[in-house]
Structure 1
Amino acid sequence: MRLRSAPLEDWLRDYYFTAEIDISSSGFHSYSMAELRAKTGLRHAEIDRLVFDDGYSLGAPEVRAAVARHCGGVDPDKVMTTSGSGEAVSLVLSALLRPGDEVVVVQPGYHLLVEYAVALGCTVKTWRLDPDRDWQPSLDELAGLMSERTRAVIVNFPQNPTGATLTEAQQERLVRLAEGVGAYVLWDGAFTDLTYDAPPLPEITARYGRAVSFGTFSKAFGLPGLRFGWCVAPPELLADCVRIRDYTTLHVSPLVELLALGVLENADAFIRPRLDQARINRTTLTDWATAHPGLVSLVPPAGGVTAFPRLTGIADADAFCDELFQKRGVLVIPGSCFGRPQHIRVGFGGRPDLLREGLDRLTLALTEARG
């Protein structure tokens, strides 16, 4: 397989570590080790007792059990712990898909969920979200894309970058569509816990035997640097993932799993404060867009901490975003990274004061660019 470059990562690689104000991120501002220890009660003595032995191929049993509880009480035998959800996604796709397999992906969408299937030689069909419909997914359109040749439907809801999601009834219909043709549903649940106007959607693997879900600490938990993730999948598929992993990472670090266990056992202490903050930030963002209808058009995100506003009167969003960074120190993501060059991705999971300052600078830049 040969992977194409990931425009999002290419952009962030050049700007992320030197931005004065980052309002681009798809996650929360990160917790420190001191905050992690305070929230979990982890003591230095527990860390000192850790021995850096090799780990279990599917993850330490107690950590798999904690993931299973967090996912609503699924069977721990269906859980695999991974280095972020990215490893889980790549392992599952590598184990499941073959050249020529037909898969459905969502656009605009996160590059891993699209490009990995392309690199594996799959025939890719695109389920497009339309800004003129407020990014709302059409299950009728999905039905038209599927056939008995469909191997998998790859989705992430709530969605990155648009913030769109499904209702529980729509999730159920998606499952029935997949079941009707025997397809797998690969469900990236990075934003599962981050919803505003409705409760989180049910764990999809409890609804469908050929579903796979992915989770991560990088978004709702505010711990991207810990690099901990997981998947919930049929055990026979996990066995195939292990055969691939035997040639690469082998297992998750025992130190990461020690920290992850404490986090999972105190999940609400990590998620709740940041979600409460995100609710406030979401209002700040939507109020800003409402106040500047001549500059941007924004669909309020239903979940996650990203929004995907359209810029008014900006011919080249890439050049605009570069100038915004160079002149005003503000980082946003140009929509070209998601195949929508007239849009930008704005993240609202950071500190409220930085979001307000970043939006003020963005307003000045947009006003200046329009003359």
Structure 2
Amino acid sequence: MKIKTFKVEQWMNDYENDAIYNLGETCIDSMTLGELIELSGQNPEKYLSALKDKRMSYGYIEGSPELLKGISSLYKNILPSQSIPTHGAIGANHQVIISMIEPKDNMVCVMPTYQQHYSIPESIGAEVRIVQLTPENNFLPDLNLMRSLVDNNTKMITINNPNNPTGAWIPEDVMTEIIEIAKSVDAYILSDEVYRGISEDGSYMMSIADLYEKGISVGSMSKIFSLAGLRMGWIASRDEHVINACRTRRDYDTVSCGQLDDLFASLALANKEKIAERNRKILLKNREILDEWVNSTPEVSYVKPAAGTTALLYYNNEMPSYELCVKLIKEKGVLFTPGSCFEMEGCVRIGYAYDSEKLREGLDKFTEFLREI
């Protein structure tokens, strides 16, 4: 099986360690284990000391009861038995696509999105039909285009909500129409929801698994929970065929997740409101910093992100995005992700939810750079 190079991951592998101002980071300011334990109301020293006697067996093959309960608490209609722990959301996306898609199928996919959603089905031999998201439509799917692309061989529609890299959030009325499109050809909807969970006003963000019986939600502890080092993700669906197919596949590529990943993810999920309170403050503060900078910098423009931790910044220069980003990190130490990693040009992806001061300083350095070139 041949598969294309994963552009965004290769870019981060090549350049992230060189960054002084890491504006390519897409997680909300990462927590230490001590912070997580303190936030849960426990003493870090005592808690960590007690772990020395924990035997490192496989543990719960399909996830501990505490973990499954915590995952189900993120949804309105998902039971603990309807979720599958995975090695990060990257493992979840891979498991769903490789379990459900065959060469005879076609798959409708939004663009831009995380490359797994189109490169994995292409490598299987399935046809991928693209719904291009545009700034003119606030990066929301063109429903007429989507409707024209589905047929009786469409096995799945895949979306990314909130969207990476644009920060767009599909409202519930639009989601309802996407569901009707899927129903018209009896297709699944895979929704990569790793940035779901912290809304502007604190309200609940609906999942595809809440809205559609054949909806498949992928989530993770990385972005919104600030715990990427746990490498814990999951699949959630009410569709029995999806759960059974992914569990069967999981025996070949996962077996079980790490016991410590399970333990700390369970602790975080049990204290999700406290983490959300911490992270909402960071997210909204930094989103405002970004918005003020864009509004005062005529060299750039964007569609203000509605959710998530990323946005696309368009720059008024003809330099290709990859060349611009290499030059930028070498001359200013600022890391963005080239738009070309998402099959786009004239723009870069920013991750704005990390360190507030580094964000301000990095944006100022980018302003200097744009005016110099």
TM-score relative to the length of structure 2: 0.94
**How far does residue 157 in structure 1 lie from its aligned partner after superposition?**
1.0
Instruction: Please state if 1:133 is matched with 2:106.
Output: no
What does the per-residue CA deviation read over 1:61-108, in whole Å, with 9 as the maximum and x for residues that have no partner?
Answer: 331122112223511111111111111111111110101211011111
1:141 alignment partner AA? L
Q: Give the Cα–Cα distance (whole angstroms) in 2 for the partners of residues 296 and 235 of structure 1.
A: 47
Q: Give the Cα–Cα distance (whole angstroms) in 2 for the partners of residues 219 and 161 of structure 1.
A: 13
Hey, what does 1:36 align to over in structure 2? Answer: 36
**How far does residue 194 in structure 1 lie from its aligned partner after superposition?**
3.1
Alignment of structure 1 residues 1-371 onto 2, 5 Å = 1-40=1-40, 41=42, 43-72=47-76, 74-196=78-200, 199-233=203-237, 234-293=239-298, 295-369=299-373
What does the per-residue CA deviation read over 1:118-149, in whole Å, with 9 as the maximum and x for residues that have no partner?
Answer: 11111100011012333232222211211222
Contact 1:162–1:301 (8 Å) recurs in 2: yes
2:83 alignment partner AA? V
1:239 alignment partner AA? N
Q: Give the Cα–Cα distance (whole angstroms) in 2 for the partners of residues 203 and 135 of structure 1.
A: 18
Detail structure 1 runs of 4+ shifted over 6 Å in the superposition: none
Greater CA drift, 222-231 or 55-64: 55-64
SS of equivalent to 1:105: strand
Q: Give the Cα–Cα distance (whole angstroms) in 2 for the partners of residues 357 and 100 of structure 1.
A: 50
**How far does residue 300 in structure 1 lie from its aligned partner after superposition?**
0.2
Contact 2:189–2:216 (8 Å) recurs in 1: yes
Q: Give the Cα–Cα distance (whole angstroms) in 2 for the partners of residues 363 and 311 of structure 1.
A: 10
Contact 2:75–2:209 (8 Å) recurs in 1: no
Contact 1:192–1:200 (8 Å) recurs in 2: no
Q: Give the Cα–Cα distance (whole angstroms) in 1 for the partners of residues 38 and 173 of structure 2.
A: 39
Q: Give the Cα–Cα distance (whole angstroms) in 1 for the partners of residues 83 and 36 of structure 2.
A: 24
Contact 1:82–1:88 (8 Å) recurs in 2: yes
Contact 1:204–1:212 (8 Å) recurs in 2: yes
Q: Give the Cα–Cα distance (whole angstroms) in 1 for the partners of residues 333 and 221 of structure 2.
A: 28
**How far does residue 326 in structure 1 lie from its aligned partner after superposition?**
0.6
**How far does residue 275 in structure 1 lie from its aligned partner after superposition?**
1.8
**How far does residue 316 in structure 1 lie from its aligned partner after superposition?**
1.9
Query: Which stretches in structure 2 are left out of the alignment for 5+ residues?
Result: none
Greater CA drift, 68-77 or 85-94: 68-77
1:228 alignment partner AA? M
Contact 1:163–1:306 (8 Å) recurs in 2: yes
What does the per-residue CA deviation read over 1:262-284, in whole Å, with 9 as the maximum and x for residues that have no partner?
Answer: 11000122222122111111111
**How far does residue 180 in structure 1 lie from its aligned partner after superposition?**
1.8
Q: Give the Cα–Cα distance (whole angstroms) in 2 for the partners of residues 359 and 278 of structure 1.
A: 16
Contact 2:23–2:362 (8 Å) recurs in 1: yes
Change (3 A) 1:260 1:241: same
Change (3 A) 1:136 1:241: closer
Contact 2:189–2:215 (8 Å) recurs in 1: yes
Query: Which stretches in structure 1 are left out of the alignment for 5+ residues?
Result: none
SS of equivalent to 1:309: strand
SS of equivalent to 1:25: coil
**How far does residue 49 in structure 1 lie from its aligned partner after superposition?**
4.1
SS of equivalent to 2:174: helix
Q: Give the Cα–Cα distance (whole angstroms) in 2 for the partners of residues 365 and 6 of structure 1.
A: 28
What does the per-residue CA deviation read over 1:271-311, in whole Å, with 9 as the maximum and x for residues that have no partner?
Answer: 22122111111111111111112x11111011111110111
Contact 2:86–2:254 (8 Å) recurs in 1: no
Greater CA drift, 301-310 or 265-274: 265-274
Contact 1:134–1:299 (8 Å) recurs in 2: yes
Q: Give the Cα–Cα distance (whole angstroms) in 1 for the partners of residues 120 and 4 of structure 2.
A: 9
